[in-house]
Structure 1
Amino acid sequence: MRIAVTGSIAMDHLMVFPGRFTDQLMAGRLDHVSLSFLVDALHIRRGGVAANIAHGLGQLGLSPVLVGAVGSDFEPYRVLLKEQGVDTESVRVSPDLHTARFVCTTDADQNQIATFYAGAMAEARHIRLAPVLARTGGLDLVLVSPNDPEAMLRHTRECHELGIPVAADPSQQLARLERDQVRALIDRSRMLFTNEYESVLLQERSGWTEEQVLGRTGLWVTTLGAAGSRIRRAGRTTIEVPAAEAQSVADPTGVGDAYRAGFLAALAWGEDLRNAARFGSVAAVLALESVGTQEHILRPAHLLARLEEAYGPTTAHAFTARLAVPS
């Protein structure tokens, strides 16, 4: 399966605040907030939703096609992505704008306050998928992840016109999308990704009930943090998969992206939905144990060991051949 991942490509500035944000909020004074947090650590990492997911797929041997817009400062980042097996030839480079920036502070309770500067990402609306399709010889799935809203809508529309299945992942952009835009992204999608909060927000923004959403997508994957993930399909039994247990918690940023990479890789290998969710959960927990969204390494032997630890030897055995580790 050849997967194209469209969406944000960014540099992440990740900071750690040793206290709790909630301790700084004063009841009755929230209409005028002026806060400053003295942080203990700053990590500058490669990020962006599309790049994170493509990085994970690349590590797993899927040769994903990354589609997005960046600034002229992208070249060192491009080299590192290509080393992981990511096709970056369809990334648009702006001569005038910087690559997007994600600035995030995480507190002691793993709460986060973040700001995102779009920069060159605004030019993603000018990218056409037809040339990508022609260059690669065909695509089996296009993931439409958070991006310039016009780009998300254009990619979705063009996929429908070209007959390419779409996986919708509006996540962080739900708050700024209008009702018709949210509906356009969901309608006729092969699959839909949200976290638990976004699943409620998506219904509010689209004006559709859970049943109506399920009637317009092939399957709906919702990540539930430490509670695991849930897969729903219209008229079918819901699949609930517990999370793999983390050995430590270093940084929650990008955990959902790692889950998507693992889930999509497992589907590309022909695994069923339950095993795809299990593999996604293991990939996610490895990201949780690392600082930065692309610092975790998906080593076959380690993946199999964590799969067996979390879900038993039968699940691990199902992935042995795909991960090229002798049984």
Structure 2
Amino acid sequence: MRIAVTGSIATDHLMVFPGRFADQLIKEQLERVSLSFLADRLDVRRGGVAANIAFGLGLLGLDPVMVGAAGPDFADYGAWLRANGVDTSAVRVSETLHTARFVCTTDQDQNQIATFYAGAMAEAPRIDLAGIAGRTGGLRLVLVGADDPAAMLRHTATAHRLGIPVAADPSQQLARLDREQARLLVDRATWLFTNEYEAALLLERTGWSEKELLARVGTWITTRGADGVSLTRSGADRLAVPAVPTDRIADPTGAGDAFRSGFLAGLAWQWPARQAARFGCALATTVLESVGTQEYKLLPSDLAARIAQTYGDDAARFIEPRLADV
């Protein structure tokens, strides 16, 4: 049985403007802005939460099933994912809408102007998770990541109906959800992922207290950047796992997705949650040191050394048998 990763599939177009946006803005004309910034750099990168998480699981040999919607321009991206161990047979390919795109320009002060085009994501609610579970021989876990909200709700309901454990990861879509939608997405989740900001936003959106929310989920995992992660269960002490340190941060994008890949892999290998979180933290740091969300390499010796230095030799020895297959 395999892990299904549902969510967005996207291409990121990232540009750098060598000046300052503020120098181009005229206070008296802000109601009628018509500007063009001449960028001197363009990076086109593969992205989307489902693709990023599935990529990491694929590198680790988990044969994940990626579930999402893309456009007719998905051919090269799909080939890349398949070459890295991802099953893309469940991706819905739209006949008319392009794969989602994130277009962002950053100035020299790190200010950003961006546009997100959802594109084929609008067709994600048409995907039948029950059919996918049947064709793939069953699913051990469904991660419901940021996607068209209707698709997220449908996948969650289907997984619960089929008795498949759910990992809820609403992330960027929390801001769009109303109270009932937010509650439906996280209620009865075996695992719940948020960062610190999303944790506060989730409580606001659901209207539940932390105690009430914990009574409705299995384990709540909160990523805390350089402070690591915390794992919380109802009636149990909070478990804190420190981050794997680095002084070579190249690009923070995708680190959270990499943590999820490592953590979910640990669950698939039936590791204790603490050990799975440590492994996730090691993968997150690997991505922090790379530019792009899917351009990193996994080196068993490097991962083992990071874990030994941060968590001790026993923790490294625990993971080494699995790393031999990476």
TM-score in terms of structure 2 length: 0.92
1:294 maps to 294
Q: Is it true that 1:181 corresponds to 2:181 in the alignment?
A: yes
**Structure 2 counterpart of 1:161, one-letter code:** R
SS at match of 2:208: coil
CA positional deviation for 1:272: 1.2
Point out the more displaced range, 106-115 or 232-241. Answer: 106-115
CA distance in 1, matches of 2:229, 2:32: 37
1:164 maps to 164
CA positional deviation for 1:111: 7.4
Point out the more displaced range, 29-38 or 69-78. Answer: 29-38
CA distance in 2, matches of 1:238, 1:266: 19
Aligned residues: 325
CA positional deviation for 1:299: 2.1
CA distance in 2, matches of 1:268, 1:207: 32
Q: Are the structure 2 counterparts of residues 168 and 68 from structure 1 closer, same or farther at C-alpha, using a change threshold of 3 Å?
A: same
2:101 maps to 101
RMSD: 2.7
**Structure 1 counterpart of 2:65, one-letter code:** V
CA distance in 2, matches of 1:110, 1:261: 29
User: Do the aligned residues in 2 keep the contact of 1:110 with 1:252 (CA within 8 Å)?
Assistant: no
Q: Is it true that 1:60 corresponds to 2:52 in the alignment?
A: no
How is 1:1-327 mapped onto 2 (pairs within 5 angstroms)? 2-16=2-16, 41-105=41-105, 114-324=114-324
- CA deviation map 1:112-140 (0-9, x unaligned): 66432110011000001111111110000
CA distance in 2, matches of 1:315, 1:13: 39
Q: Are the structure 2 counterparts of residues 109 and 162 from structure 1 closer, same or farther at C-alpha, using a change threshold of 3 Å?
A: farther
User: Do the aligned residues in 2 keep the contact of 1:6 with 1:68 (CA within 8 Å)?
Assistant: yes
TM-score in terms of structure 1 length: 0.91
Q: Are the structure 2 counterparts of residues 230 and 8 from structure 1 closer, same or farther at C-alpha, using a change threshold of 3 Å?
A: same
Q: Are the structure 2 counterparts of residues 212 and 129 from structure 1 closer, same or farther at C-alpha, using a change threshold of 3 Å?
A: same
CA distance in 1, matches of 2:252, 2:18: 15
SS at match of 1:43: strand
User: Do the aligned residues in 1 keep the contact of 2:61 with 2:325 (CA within 8 Å)?
Assistant: no
Q: Are the structure 2 counterparts of residues 17 and 221 from structure 1 closer, same or farther at C-alpha, using a change threshold of 3 Å?
A: farther
CA distance in 1, matches of 2:303, 2:109: 27
Point out the more displaced range, 311-320 or 162-171. Answer: 311-320
Point out the more displaced range, 287-296 or 14-23. Answer: 14-23
SS at match of 2:5: strand
Point out the more displaced range, 305-314 or 200-209. Answer: 305-314
Q: Are the structure 2 counterparts of residues 183 and 313 from structure 1 closer, same or farther at C-alpha, using a change threshold of 3 Å?
A: same
**Structure 1 counterpart of 2:55, one-letter code:** H
**Structure 1 counterpart of 2:87, one-letter code:** D
CA distance in 1, matches of 2:205, 2:75: 37
SS at match of 1:293: coil
SS at match of 1:226: helix
Gaps of 5+ in 1: none
Point out the more displaced range, 298-307 or 220-229. Answer: 298-307
Q: Are the structure 2 counterparts of residues 240 and 120 from structure 1 closer, same or farther at C-alpha, using a change threshold of 3 Å?
A: same
Point out the more displaced range, 115-124 or 8-17. Answer: 8-17
Q: Are the structure 2 counterparts of residues 254 and 323 from structure 1 closer, same or farther at C-alpha, using a change threshold of 3 Å?
A: same
Q: Are the structure 2 counterparts of residues 20 and 138 from structure 1 closer, same or farther at C-alpha, using a change threshold of 3 Å?
A: farther
CA positional deviation for 1:42: 2.3
- CA deviation map 1:283-304 (0-9, x unaligned): 1111111111101112222211
User: Do the aligned residues in 2 keep the contact of 1:262 with 1:281 (CA within 8 Å)?
Assistant: yes
User: Do the aligned residues in 2 keep the contact of 1:47 with 1:293 (CA within 8 Å)?
Assistant: yes
**Structure 2 counterpart of 1:237, one-letter code:** D
Gaps of 5+ in 2: none
**Structure 1 counterpart of 2:234, one-letter code:** A
- CA deviation map 1:226-254 (0-9, x unaligned): 11111110001101111111241111111
Point out the more displaced range, 5-14 or 245-254. Answer: 245-254
User: Do the aligned residues in 2 keep the contact of 1:188 with 1:217 (CA within 8 Å)?
Assistant: yes
CA distance in 2, matches of 1:73, 1:270: 37
- CA deviation map 1:146-174 (0-9, x unaligned): 00000000000011111111100000000
Point out the more displaced range, 122-131 or 301-310. Answer: 301-310
- CA deviation map 1:54-74 (0-9, x unaligned): 000000011000000000000
CA positional deviation for 1:271: 1.5
SS at match of 1:142: strand
CA positional deviation for 1:88: 0.6
